[in-house]
């Protein structure tokens, strides 16, 4: 975990190592025939929509009934497949599964919604991944399911997606799908869609390491993020004499999962 510090006036305001905004795991449990996919060895279908909640996404497997995608829904399955052979003898909670999902679902999600890594990280739209139930795992099931999940959590859960989320971030994304923060600092601010009142906007991301680099430690990631975001935000604002910026950097767990970028924030003028 990272420490959170108050903003430094004149040019800085920052947050170090918040949870990743764009990843999740999955869950839910039911008895209807439509819901048996998590309990079988069969690979799920692409294109099915569901009404998932944050509690569902906190679980490892999910058997929620699909709904018609023309009806209100908060999730859409965009990628499925068999896990690689190296997981044939893996335990159900093998940490390498998370790293595989981060790479596989993350890349497929970018292609599906039409955004590069930076745009995806600055979106309120996320993704969740699910594996078979423990019972199915014990019977040899080794599949994964990647679901696009509706934007930022509201009091009632996730917001509804359009009939399909394909291409949602292509071109210039609508503010309803981009992430802002409302508060005195990024650290203290509530993350909201940019259509809501806000004081900070996520404007870019910056690399803080290469794919094969070992975890460099919180301090190195903090300093790298601070310096890079200072330059990025200053350039985007036209190098004013005085401005405030923030950053979200991620801890060792996200590094091990494959994330090598931090998010830069600009205070709205």
Question: In this predicted model, what pLDDT tens digit does every residue of 204-249 receive, in sequence order?
Answer: 999 999 989 999 999 999 999 999 999 999 999 898 888 999 999 9
In this prediction, residue 144 carries a pLDDT of 96
In this prediction, residue 90 carries a pLDDT of 95
Query: Do the domain assignments include residue 25?
Result: no
Q: Checking DSSP bridges between strand 261-267 and strand 75-82, what pairing results, if any? A: unpaired
Q: Which positions of the chain have pLDDT values less than 50? A: 1-36
Query: Do the domain assignments include residue 153?
Result: yes
Query: Do the domain assignments include residue 182?
Result: yes
**Residues of the domain holding 260:** 33-267
Query: Do the domain assignments include residue 241?
Result: yes
> Is 206 exposed, middle or buried (CB count within 10 Å of its CB: 0-12, 13-18, 19+)?
buried
In this prediction, residue 21 carries a pLDDT of 35
Asked whether 33 and 63 are in contact (CB, 8 A), the reply is no
- Which residues are bridge partners to 25 per DSSP? 129
Query: Do the domain assignments include residue 3?
Result: no
Query: Do the domain assignments include residue 37?
Result: yes
Query: Do the domain assignments include residue 245?
Result: yes
In this prediction, residue 150 carries a pLDDT of 85
Q: Per the structure, how many domains does the chain have?
A: 1
pLDDT digit string (tens) for 24-35? Answer: 333 333 334 344
Query: Do the domain assignments include residue 196?
Result: yes
In this prediction, residue 28 carries a pLDDT of 36
Asked whether 191 and 183 are in contact (CB, 8 A), the reply is no
């Amino acid at each position: 975990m990272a420490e959170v510090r108050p903003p430094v006036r004149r040019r800085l305001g920052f947050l170090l190592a918040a949870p990743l905004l764009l990843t999740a795991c999955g869950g839910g449990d039911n008895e209807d025939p439509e819901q048996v996919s998590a309990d079988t060895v069969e690979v799920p279908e692409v294109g099915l929509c569901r009404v998932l909640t944050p509690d569902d996404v906190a679980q490892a497997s999910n058997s929620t009934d699909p709904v018609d995608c023309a009806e209100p829904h908060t999730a859409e399955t965009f990628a499925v497949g068999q896990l690689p052979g190296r997981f044939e003898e893996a335990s159900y909670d093998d940490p390498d599964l998370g790293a595989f999902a981060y790479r596989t679902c993350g890349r497929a999600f970018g292609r599906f919604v039409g955004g590069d890594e930076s745009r995806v990280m600055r979106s309120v739209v996320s993704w969740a991944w699910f594996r078979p139930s423990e019972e199915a795992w014990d019977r040899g099931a080794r599949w994964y399911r990647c679901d696009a999940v509706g934007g930022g959590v509201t009091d009632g859960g996730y917001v509804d997606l359009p009939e399909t989320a394909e291409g949602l971030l292509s071109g210039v994304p609508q503010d309803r799908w981009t992430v802002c923060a409302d508060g005195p600092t990024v650290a203290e601010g509530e993350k909201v869609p940019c259509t809501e009142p806000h004081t900070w906007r996520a404007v870019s991301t910056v690399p803080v390491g290469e794919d094969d680099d070992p975890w460099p430690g919180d301090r190195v990631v903090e300093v790298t993020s601070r310096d890079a975001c200072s330059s990025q935000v200053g350039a985007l604002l036209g190098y004013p004499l005085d401005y405030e910026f923030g950053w979200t950097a991620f801890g060792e767990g996200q590094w091990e999962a494959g994330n090598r970028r931090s998010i830069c924030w600009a205070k709205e003028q």
